[in-house]
A and B are shown apart, each in its own frame.
Chain A
């Protein structure tokens, strides 16, 4: 399986085999994309050319026998949200509501967009939660046809947040902080499901949330619990996980609360083949989405 991720201007990919229910990594590569590819125009006619330039390196590195391609794209490519829906509505009504909601939100872009929804298990919540993803039809078509032209099978495409979530899902209430270039991304979990995400900030060892997508109340209450933790305290009722070395002021926070934090290394659970060679300066913790995609093949 070839797992490809595009996030924050980086192309990361890994080729792996599943041997005896274990993932064996054959390659693990990260390449910085040139600035013109950081925010491509999803509705441009030339998008397939842009995709070709970006992805050809990964496809060339893929052995001929490998046909499965899985992709994870960040919010520059795929819009991703967690939307509340009234519990009283049945499945058809929910879909009609979501379509209406998205139509209003997208406006003139609505006709050229493809929408995808999936129900989140939300028994304990007062509302139903639905994950919703929007991608330009043109981008989706270009991506699919490019992969097929390369004689590969486009198996899976998901927003990067879902790939990351697969890596750090916790059963109880919990939050996972991911290093995302120079910022930090927080994913909030409850009952084993992703319920909210956003970009937190830190000042004087106090975390605050800016924009939150999903169950805002849950995210705020979890952050409040995290802030209440003192460096010397031993009790903690929430799972706090970090992926990668968090930048800037987060470093001091992480070092003072080591006992409460669990450091997750995305590819530590995978076997590495002998021929694997990592470029100098490659940070393995940046391969969260790639690891998430690979974990999918085990489920």
Chain B
């Protein structure tokens, strides 16, 4: 009788491995497990776990892998639609985009590693998300990055920012995937904890879709790609803790090192493996390495796995089973080869100069069994590793200081202290508004020759060769709005993402989200999380944009201070015909400028307050989902009927900054602007408030009447506010009792000069 058969009737005893530490309550606590959780593990095991087994449970039940504090709320998000092929739970979500093609996409965070080692932290973040996409059978076609840092007046923040940008750039550039957009924000709220989220889109023929499941009893498990080392051991657990002063030194060994060259080979080899038909499943060895990839693949198929760690190719001698199982060395995959096709797998891997090794097999007994040179070192039921993780719903209470900030009287700030033009140029030069060219000029944006809209616009656009279609993608979240009112802020994030897509001519289609929050065990953080998820759920339903996956990143705190709650929305949309692709900048002198939507006095949370008074306060602007929906439909209709020359979403910096962006374009040939705004509002509000539901469009003068009529037909307020001026004219925006007037050279300098000037000053890794 084999060990596998006896396992179903008796509890398999596994003797302690020589040299492994004894299980004590301190050791359990060090593994991030509560007493209750440990008891639960003992019940599942029917005995005390070995050190190796404890490590496996700790990783699988960490927040990062187990979603224990988020799972219940995440179930409130809409995940289904006729076009969704694969919803949450796989390496990436997949949607049907027609013409026989499917799009895989996903966003993921690498916040903690980037706080400790910005270059490698960010680079490996990109590597991980690429693998999530190509393991679905899709070729990566675009990257976006969503970044947050503290204020750039700190040399340390400049060091983090510069390092992250090079890391994101170098990795994607080397693999050869264009970066088509994203966002970056700077605010003291992210000082100790930068946010580094990377999103990837991949394209495949629908029939090439493969899932990460260990199906077919007797099939062979193979470790493919880089060798396993001691780097990143317990990264998943590390990601589930707060950072402290000591973290930087003590945690550095938990940050992995990226090798984009191996990644590129792995990408080509994986796609060739999938199309060869010799494998039944493939998964990245990401967080918690072999452990999570094997357990998750077994869990999805309802099977067991048996792995002999002595057969895993390692790059350091004397690695223990514990270390091999929990290593997060990069650029590795777990492949399930159909029995008898192992030779084919080897042949393909050899062509790409990569290693592949048979390390185990799929079993029928539902056990997660680990051997070391034939001797059992761990034997546990597989399903509880993925499905048995306890989930919690906690009490959430809003922090008093946030309520006070929100209810602050902002009336005095509506009266400008001095010149409006001066305030405007200051705002335009704020790193939150100014051109991000310094960043994306370090990213290859045109490789693969399909980028129709590069970074710098409302969304990035990739045409789909061989079809008439294109795909637009964007990432959005204003953390200040979410901080001041989590429910409203999350709704705004979804609405803005959809608006951005629509302005490029796309129909918003689906979402991947990256929920970056502080420590969920704190009541005020849990409150933020719950409210944000509820707001997101409402908005996703309103826009019919289901969530197909994503990532939760908790514990973004340093020395007890949490980041602003930052639920980043990564949204993709379909452009039915490439002729619908619409630019954000003005195209022709003499065109009319039309404002869709209404200006309001809602200055709360605006960049203007931060720049002029250092304030993050007030009620964030209200978002009316019905109005947003109508506005978006109206703009799409106008674009599809070729009524418009440009469309641009109104966001950070308000209407004045939006008009400046429309006028400046890529900076090569800016247009003048003559706009008169007759709103009965203080000029600060008219010009700088970040009221929702507004889009600035331009059109040939003989189309203006049509544009306004189309807007009215959709129930959207619209009015002509001015005209596009010549290249020799000025930027002139007049509000009731106040105006902005500046020449185009100053406008250009403020917008394009700001970030390079800041980043030419010295950086420092010192705190």
Asked if A and B bind, the verdict is: no
Using a CB–CB cutoff of 8 Å, the interface residues on chain B facing chain A are none
